[in-house]
Amino acid sequence: MPFRAPVSEFRFILDHIAGFDQVAATDRFAEATPETVEAVLIEAGRMCEEVLAPLQRAGDLDPARLENGVVRTPKGFAEGYRAIAEGGWIAIAADPAHGGMGLPMAVTTAINDMMSAACLSLQLAPLMSQGQIEALEHHASDDIKALYLPKLISGEWAGTMNLTEPQAGSDVGSLSTKAVPNGDGTYAITGQKIYITWGDNDFTDNVCHLVLARLPDAAPGTKGISLFLVPKILPDDSGALGKANSLKVVSLEHKMGLHGSPTAVMQYDGATGWLIGGEHDGMRAMFTMMNNARLGVGVQGIGVAERAYQHALAYAEGRRQGKTESGNITDHPDVRRMLATMKADIFAARAIALANAVAIDMQTATGDPEWAARAALLTPITKAFGTDTGIAVAQMGVQVHGGMGFIEETGAAQFSRDVRVTAIYEGTNGIQAMDLVGRKLMDGGEAAYRLLDEMEAEAEAARSTLPALVDPVWQACETLRETVEWMVEQAPKDRLAGSMPFLHGFARVLGAHFHLKAALADPEGPHARLAEFYIQRLLPEHAGLLAHARQGADALFALSAEDLAS
């Protein structure tokens, strides 16, 4: 079925939910007027609908492949990438000094959502470049910026991120790739990296890899890691391309989904690279890229959820079975429940992601540490809840189709296969939950409490208007506050044992807060009715999740390895 870019929904959330007016009021983003943002979203939405969406199924049936050492991408992907690059959609938030639009991250987030819905396999390519652009803007030398940023921003060159090695998955500190000084300011990079998204392509002139590696005097663990920029083809000082670098794609992974996106095993054999940031300071520089990617990956889950929902709704509206008022299966209570759950959770996840992006923009524009703390707090929630929502919604989409959902020709199964990995890469969702209860609560919970204060104040202000919705939201905020207090007081092992239910409970309450704001902004419209569904039927899950979060580690580890194996 045709994809419809939800531009009006983005405008509603930005205008009424996420606080984008604060961003537009800053000097840094004064040009992001409502008229400008709407025009940008409409144009990007049109590109997603007309150019990218038709590539979704084609990329699954005609996967990327490696032929004689050369990556061949699916038919139409080169033209799709060209449309993204020529439209300026790679570098929406990048510095105008190097050719970027300089628009807020909230706008980038909305456009990445639409591109992910249209064709996730292809959207991964510009997402990797966006992260590399941000890392270079923050950590590269002026010479590197001048040479590489204009090419990455224009889309002439593409960027990747190389972290994982066969023996070092999420334990990045175990990596063994070596970097040896060449004596001329460059380094010889040797090692193997796996799971490299868009490690190569056949539609850009160059591919630039950000590679984590160890210098000869490096300390063990993450403190001994440095970051290097290693291009596929070595450019001269003017950007003209010369000889090939000493690297290659060894193989492409055979994956459950995302068949159109080449995921490479990369081999570096003394490849020439340039240090980005300081020696042994690679993790700080790489986290700039990874945090960008974590927001982006959360939005990928939301985008796929949107497409899966539209697909399921269209099927349900055309499927006649049983006696219903409308004549189709949307009037069967369980089908209606699934469709309403899909739509309500997409709204909640999208509002969280855009609020996260607004916090990043406010941090950028003001330098206020409270905005930085808000952005940091919301990032693991955005990534984990966004991707878990994508997985759950895609699964429900298959169920709405019934038996036809299990038939590949309907396309419903592809959404489930494609989105599944988003809960794994850029830090598994378990790592996101650990980060939330660990690093993000190291302030004693202050960032969480400030957010809860705002949520409760807004609920109180609406008590006379929507009392039936306000009371459960306010009580849920109190339960979440008590759980934050509990987490702050516990030993790390007890925090970690409840980290995942805590994250999902937090997201449930945040979702209710944003749905309540939507009901206040649209009291007689569909947003109010959707809010009523979410708050009455989905919000109650928070109580069980947060009770689970507060159980500590004793019962969990009372189960021995032998118990688990018996």
Residue whose pair of structure tokens reads 């409270």 in the numeric block: 370
| Cα radius of gyration (the chain) | 23
CA 228 to chain centroid, in Å, comes to 24
Dump strand ranges (E) for 200-246. 206-214, 225-231, 233-235, 241-244
Among left, alpha and beta (phi > 0; psi -120 to 50; other), residue 187 is beta
Is 503 exposed, middle or buried (CB count within 10 Å of its CB: 0-12, 13-18, 19+)?
buried
Query: Among 328, 237, 234, which residue's Cα sits nearest to residue 273?
Result: 234
Residue whose pair of structure tokens reads 């980290």 in the numeric block: 499
Query: Among 50, 29, 45, 43, which residue's Cα sits nearest to residue 106?
Result: 29
Q: Catalytic: which of 35, 253, 426, 454?
A: 426
Taking the chain, what is the end-to-end CA distance rounded to the nearest angstrom? Answer: 48
Q: SS3 for 336-373, per residue?
A: HHHHHHHHHHHHHHHHHHHHHHHHHHHHHHHCCHHHHH
Assess whether 43 carries a catalytic annotation.
no
Dump strand ranges (E) for 93-177. 157-162
DSSP helix/strand/coil, 257? coil
Q: Report how far residue 519's alpha carbon sits from residue 532's, in angstroms, rounded to the nearest whole number.
A: 8
- Residues with catalytic roles: 426
